[in-house]
Every structure is written in C-alpha cells, then in structure tokens.
Amino acid sequence: MAFREDQIARYSRHIILKEVGGRGQEKLLSARVLVIGAGGLGSPVAMYLAAAGVGTIGLVDMDVVDVSNLQRQIMHSQSTVGIPKVVSGARTLSRMNPDVTVVPIQDRLTAENAMELFSGYDVIVDGSDNFGTRYIVNDAAFFLKKTLVSGSILRFEGQVTVLEGHTEAPCYRCLYPEAPPPGLVPSCSEAGVLGVLAGTIGTLQAAEVVKKILGVGELLTGRLLLYDALSMTFRKLRVPKDPHCALCSPKATITTVSGSSEWVCQVPAS
Amino acid sequence: MSVVVRIPTPLRKLTGNQGEVREEGGTVREILDGLESHYPGIRERLTDEAGELRRFINIYLNEEDIRFAEGLDTKVKAGDEVSIIPAIAGGAR
Ligand SMILES: [Zn+2]
C-alpha cells in the first residue's frame, strides 16, 4: 500500500515509532474492528481507533442519543440528541478521519445475529452495558477465534482484560463463570458512573486493540486490570484459563451462542 | 493473622464506605466470617446458600484467584491482601 502525502502527514507520529512504522500503519489502515456499544466506552475506543487510522470500524448499538448520555459519551453531542447513536458516532468518526470506513449497525446484538456480525472483523471490543450481551459477545468471539477486548465500568471503578479463549488464554467465562442474577449488581443508570472513567477505561481498550493489530507489546491476556478512580490506583491480577470452563475448556458444554441480551438491563438498585 | 481486605465500590454501602478494612483469620473463609461479624449482610453478597463463592464474584489473595487455589480454604498470612472483585457490566448507557 502506498501512502498518500496527506496520510504521511496525518500518521507521521505513528510512522516515526519503530514499533509502528509504515508497515504498522498499513496494518492499522487495513484492520477491521467491531465495537459493541456506542456509548461511554465505545466513544473513546472508536474515536482513538479512527484517529489512529483503523480502516473499518463497525458500531453496534440500538439506542438513540439522550441528553443524559452527554456527561460521558464524547462521540455524541447536543446536536445529535434524538438520533441513533451509531449514526451520531459515524458522523463524528468520519469528520475526524476520512480514511475510516464506519459501519453503523443500529441493532441489538443477539445470540442470533452475533456470529454473522462478528465474522467480518479482526478484533471485537466489548463496551456493552449488560451481562447478557457480555456472554453473547464472549461466546461468539470464541467460536470465531476473534480477540475480544473487554472493558466495564461502574461508579468509580473499571475493569479491562483481553480475552482469547480460543488459545491458551482465558475467556470471559473463565473469569466470571456466571452472570449475577437480576437485582444483585446495579447498572450504571441506577448506580451512577463517573463520566471520565469511561474515557480512562475506553482509552485503555483502544490501546490494547492497536497493540493487537500491530503485534507489539504485552496484551492483557490472562490479566485483569482494575482501576479505582477514587484512590487513583491500577492493579493487575492474574486470570488463569479455567480447566472446567463451560466454553473454552476440554470439558466445554456450550456449543452454540445462546442467551438473551436484555434481561439484566432493568435490575433494581441494591 | 491480620490481612487487608479490599472492598469494591458496589459493596461499600455495607462497610460504611470503607474501601479497605482489616480482618483476622487463617483462611479466606475465616476472613469472610470476620467481615460478616463486622459488616452484617456482606456474606450473602459473596457466597450462596451452600456457602460456596458466588460464580460472578472473584476473591483474590494478592494477585491470585482463590478459585484456582484452595477456594475459601486458601490460607492467608499476615500482610496478605484479599480483594473482592465482582463482575460489572456497565459501559454503553
Ligand atoms: Zn473459558
């Protein structure tokens, strides 16, 4: 791939890094990343990937922009309140970088559509807002052998990990074998979330995606990064592959993607 | 044995907003007994009716998940750090 002059200028700070270089920038420009959730986490993830020149960015979200989103969902703005998040997001990303092809998918991710949606992408990013979706994302990524960069936030705390259950590394079910029953863990809309936390965690996810595409550094595979904004501490814990995992171990019992993405959205605050 | 127990934000309501408490005990189970006696109600958030650790809660002893050690019988020693890590799902809304 030959760079245009404007691309050499745009990506010069990348190209000058020996870990990226022209080769790496080419990898970014031909990479395809699917972002689940165009909200708090999806915003910084997609914006930094677009700025980095990731060639194709898919956005999956069925919601429309609400004014209560704007405290943290920086891909959207006052002028896009009321329009679909994926459309609002696509506008922001295309304006940032015309090199990027944005694929807006205004739909709920389900067990039925996950495999087909994921199949055209290299890396999957989970920035969803409920456990049902998280297990669907994990299982579909596993069956398609895709790297999954997972992030989650609540109140003042966030978690990031990279899941590759199709390798020696763990999957989401190795980390959390089962979702909590409705009522035990509140959602952000009930429990609140510090707006800037979405930026911290989403940006860390974007860094992992870029490293995965470039094949540089150490990923958070087999590691869980915890961030506490109040104490301003980062901790990294080990996540082993579960030899009894229902999905990715030799004792697996799960053979297809199933489950619902809706049921944990409306839990009462505990 | 006195160990530090890190409490995640969703459970801090039960610990009077403390993110870090000290408990005595020789195993993780004894640490949880101590927690329950000081902060009633916290145990049922962590273990099920059979006393097993809930499947969406991880307890780490220092950097290691106790599910991959001796579970609740994992031994602790003075100066160890026990962290309670619940699954959280927020991100898009
Ligand atoms: Zn697994």
Write out the residue range of the structural domain in which residue A198 sits.
Answer: 24-238
On the question of pLDDT at A184 being above 70, the answer is: no
Per-residue pLDDT at A20: 98
Per-residue pLDDT, averaged over A161-186, amounts to: 90
Q: What distance, in Å, lies between the first and last C-alpha atoms of chain B?
A: 43
On the question of pLDDT at A23 being above 50, the answer is: yes
What percent of chain B lies above the pLDDT cut of 70? 100
Q: Which among A153, A189, A231 has the least Cβ separation from residue B88?
A: A153
Give chain A's mean pLDDT: 94
Q: Which residues 91-130 in chain A show a CB within 8 A of chain B?
A: 126-130
Q: What is the pLDDT of residues B30-69, one digit of tens each?
A: 999 999 999 999 999 999 999 999 999 999 999 999 999 9
Enumerate the residues of chain A whose CB falls inside 8 A of the CB of residue B86.
Answer: 180, 185
Task: Please check whether residue A210 lies inside any domain of the structure.
Answer: yes
Per-residue pLDDT, averaged over A200-221, amounts to: 98
Enumerate the residues of chain B whose CB falls inside 8 A of the CB of residue A34.
Answer: none
Q: Which residues contact A117 (CB under 8 A, 6 or more apart)?
A: A34, A58, A60, A105, A109, A140
**The pairing of beta strand A101-105 with beta strand A56-60:** parallel
Per-residue pLDDT at A187: 65
Q: What is the pLDDT of residues A25-44, one digit of tens each?
A: 999 999 999 999 999 999 99
Per-residue pLDDT at A249: 97
On the question of pLDDT at A119 being above 60, the answer is: yes
Report the C-alpha gap between B72 and A115 in whole angstroms: 38
Give chain B's mean pLDDT: 94
On the question of pLDDT at A263 being above 60, the answer is: no
Task: Give the Å distance between the CA of A13 and the centre of ligand 1.
Answer: 38
Decide which of A267 and A195 is more confident: A195
pLDDT-based confidence at B91, cuts 50/70/90? confident
Per-residue pLDDT, averaged over A125-145, amounts to: 96
Task: Please check whether residue A200 lies inside any domain of the structure.
Answer: yes
Token pair, residue A131, equals 């456990």
Per-residue pLDDT at A262: 61
Decide if A103 contacts A59 (C-beta within 8 A). Answer: yes
Cβ of B8 under 8 Å from any chain A Cβ? yes
Task: Please check whether residue A162 lies inside any domain of the structure.
Answer: yes
Contact check, Cβ <8 Å, A129/B91: yes
How far away is chain B from the Cα of A8, in angstroms, using its nearest Cα?
34
Enumerate the residues of chain A whose CB falls inside 8 A of the CB of residue B54.
Answer: 180
For A132, the 3-state DSSP assignment is helix
pTM of the predicted structure, to 2 decimals = 0.94
On the question of pLDDT at A183 being above 70, the answer is: no
Dump the DSSP string for A45-98.
HHHHHHHHT-SEEEEE---B--GGGTTT-TT--GGGTTSBHHHHHHHHHHHH-T
Per-residue pLDDT, averaged over A67-73, amounts to: 97
Q: Residue A51 burial (CB < 10 Å; 0-12/13-18/19+)? A: middle
Supply the CATH number for residue A103's domain: 3.40.50.720
Contact check, Cβ <8 Å, B60/A175: no
Query: Hey, of A41, A154, A193, A242, which one would you mutate to test binding to chain B, going by the most B CBs within 10 A of its CB?
Result: A154
Dump the DSSP string for A20-54.
THHHHHHHHHH-EEEEE-SSTTHHHHHHHHHHHT-
Task: Taking the CA atoms of A183, A184, A185 and A186 in sequence, report the sign of the dihedral they define.
Answer: positive
Task: Please check whether residue A17 lies inside any domain of the structure.
Answer: no
Contact check, Cβ <8 Å, B56/A177: yes
On the question of pLDDT at A127 being above 90, the answer is: yes
Contact check, Cβ <8 Å, A176/B56: yes
Task: Please check whether residue A213 lies inside any domain of the structure.
Answer: yes
Q: List domains and CATH numbers for chain B.
A: 2-86 (3.10.20.30)
Give me the number of domains chain A comprises.
Answer: 1
Least confidently predicted of A4-13, A90-99, A259-268:
A259-268
On the question of pLDDT at A141 being above 50, the answer is: yes
pLDDT-based confidence at A191, cuts 50/70/90? confident
Per-residue pLDDT at A32: 98
Contact check, Cβ <8 Å, B90/A154: yes
On the question of pLDDT at A267 being above 50, the answer is: no
Enumerate the residues of chain A whose CB falls inside 8 A of the CB of residue B59.
Answer: none
Task: Give the Å distance between the CA of B47 and the centre of ligand 1.
Answer: 22
